[in-house]
Amino acid sequence: MTMARAAVRMERWGIIRSAYSLSPCAGRQLFSGEDRINVFRGLPRTDFTSLFNRVAEWEKRWQAGDTGWDHGEPSPPLLEYLASNLIDGQVLVPGCGSGHDVRALARGGSAVLGLDIAPSALTKAHRFPPVGKERYELGNWLKPDPELKERFDWVVEHTCFCALEPSARAEYVASVDFALRPGGQFLGIFYLRPRAENGPPFGVKATELDAFFSRFELKRQWTPSRAYPGREGREQMRAYYKSA
């Protein structure tokens, strides 16, 4: 891919693929390095500022090791689900972080794409040996690349929804709809009642989930019996179906 084509693709994502260290520069180039790409050219000022702040916040946390949500292993509810259910085909994990859930899914034979907005998260993900057909891409889940349209059989959610500001949740749901093929499925592990009052993570009520995901058919909802320490009884799993 030429530099020009790469720049256009990154502009569509609203994110940058370049060197993996955040630059404090005040201009429109967030990252520095040989592959520096000015991806914010032409964006409205409000969009640029919002995206800059979001990338900066998460990248700073990953660089500082301020990643309390990363427990060094896949989500226990996801492992519990995979023990008796098949997730196959093309799978997307938004906000994948260091990729623990991505690799858990790939071990079952699925082709899994992990997407994250923080370059350092994907740097960490790539340090793990491949276990199957997993790969990682830098991207903005709230403004997905057109190439992701109706490409996936499954979208698997864990920690991304609760990490976003509640005002972005409608965009999150629209991205799920955008990425899933007709007949595709969405599996969500939702953090209903975080211990901290001020997020992230941000809690969500079951009635709010009902409203946000009303465009999909709810197949099942349940409280997982396995959880990270401190999350017991605070999470809810939901399985949705996108009508063909």
What residue ranges define each of the domains in the chain, with the CATH number in brackets?
A: 3-64 (no CATH), 76-241 (3.40.50.150)
Q: What gap in Å lies between CA 55 and CA 62, rounded to an integer?
A: 11
pLDDT value, residue 107: 95
Band of pLDDT at residue 49, cut at 50, 70 and 90: low
Site of tokens 């999470």: 235
pLDDT in tens, 206-221: 999 999 999 999 999 9
Residue 3: pLDDT above 90? no
Give me the percent of the chain exceeding a pLDDT of 90: 52
Burial 129-156 (b: 16+ CB within 10 A, else e): eeeeebebbbbbbbbbbeebeebbbbbb
To the question of pTM greater than 0.85 for the whole model, the response is: no
Residue 197: pLDDT above 70? no
31 three-class SS: strand
Q: What gap in Å lies between CA 82 and CA 52, rounded to an integer?
A: 36
More confident residue, 41 or 235: 235
Band of pLDDT at residue 60, cut at 50, 70 and 90: confident
Q: What is the DSSP letter of 232?
A: T
Helices (H) and strands (E) in the chain, counts: 8, 7
